[in-house]
Amino acid sequence: MWLFELFTWLALLCQRVQEGLVSSTSNEHVMSKDDDSLVTVADWSVQAIVSWMLSESLSNQKVSIVAEEDVQTLSKSDSVGLLTAVVNTVNECLAEAPKYGLQSPKKALGTSQILEAISQCNSTGGRKGRHWVLDPVDGTLGFVRGDQYAVALALIEEGKIVIGVLGCPNYPRKKEWLSHHHSSQTMPKMSDTSETWEKGCVMYAQRGSGEAWMQPLIHGNKKHTWSNSAQRVQVSSIDDPALTTFCEPVERANTNHSFSAGVAHSMGFKKQPLRVHSMVKYAAIARGDAEIFMKFAQSGYKEKIWDHAAGVIIVEEAGGVVTDVWRPPPGLLKGFVLRRS
């Protein structure tokens, strides 16, 4: 259970960092990596916290973590301000851990300890043994824009995903808001407390349970209670292509929108695609807000395990199917994720 509470805590942390980035006139807490992708204070902070928490909680085990970020960019001479922000964010967050029933360090972590925690997430994984797979902020472009993003963690044992946890801090209660940019003027105001704009959830699933669950994030002074607010999620029952909603990535750099459109046309889809940042697309399938997620990567683009692992098990345990173009199941399936590997 501590994993789910950890992700509720991290999702709320990311909400605060994102709101600060969106309202700021500078981008000093955002940098470009060598592959031109973006990385923020939140990416490194979440990775450091998860690494520290796993090491402390599983101190009697060898902890292998496969994660997206390293300290190369953070250690550059022109990143002093960014590193300071990461250290402050990590320690501020860890100080709040007891509020969520989690342990905090006896004293604030030093810069070297935080860099070490980030660096420890350097496992290459593999089909043997136990490995944690972490994407601290999946969909960093969406995060920076004030849009959808996810915090994702999966546990893989002997090559099989056995646990998946997916934090979606901006996931709206009503699916209609998924197609709107978070900071758009047409969106409800952040202060709106009606059910229309209650946002944020943590989804989780365990292999073989046949169940996937969604825990809404609790805001303000409301008491956080797991047992009273977790809801089971299931994939959509819609199987009519004309009524089907399919989702795909926003970025053209890692998906072929034209090819997806051709596939959608040939399958008889009538609706426009729902383009969403990050692994939130898996959450949409698991919750039944969309029926199909298609991703056909551009030539040369390499998929990363941390971009899929947590979402895969959640969709599968919610009753969906995840496959690639080389092993498509017959017919149109409910809760169908199709990607080119």
Q: Which range is least confidently modeled, 94-103, 181-190, 286-295, 329-338?
A: 181-190
Q: List C-alpha distances in Å: 67 to 44, 244, 305.
A: 10, 34, 9
Residues noted as catalytic: 43, 140
* Sign of the four-CA dihedral 323, 324, 330, 334: positive
pLDDT reported for residue 334 = 54
The helix/strand/coil state of 339 is strand
Q: Which residues belong to the annotated binding site?
A: 68, 135, 138, 307
Quick: pLDDT tens for 222-256.
434 444 578 999 999 998 999 999 999 998 877 88
Residue boundaries of the structural domains of the chain: 2-233, 241-339
Q: Are strands 150-157 and 65-67 parallel, antiparallel or unpaired?
A: unpaired
Lowest mean pLDDT among 33-47, 51-65, 157-171, 188-202: 188-202
- Could you read off the pLDDT of 70-103 as tens digits, one per residue? 998 888 888 888 899 999 999 999 999 898 888 8
CATH class of 2-233: alpha beta
Q: What is the largest CA-CA distance in the chain?
A: 60
Architecture of domain 241-339: 3-Layer(aba) Sandwich (3.40)
As a whole-number percent, the residues of the chain with pLDDT over 70 amount to 83
What mean pLDDT is reported for the chain? 84
Q: At a CB cut-off of 8 Å and minimum separation 6, what does 50 contact?
A: 6, 10, 65, 67, 121, 134, 136, 153
Q: Which two tokens mark 279?
A: 């692994």
Task: Measure CA of the first residue to CA of the last residue in the chain; give whole Å.
Answer: 32
Cα distance between residue 23 and residue 136, in whole Å: 22
Q: Residue ranges for the binding site for Mg(2+)?
A: 68, 135, 138, 307
**Inter-axis angle of helices 80-95 and 111-119, nearest 10:** 90
Which pLDDT tens digit goes with each residue over 292-321?
999 888 777 788 999 999 999 999 999 999
Instruction: Output the pLDDT for position 253.
Output: 77
Which DSSP symbol is given to 310?
H
Closest CA to 311 of 170, 174, 177, 168: 168
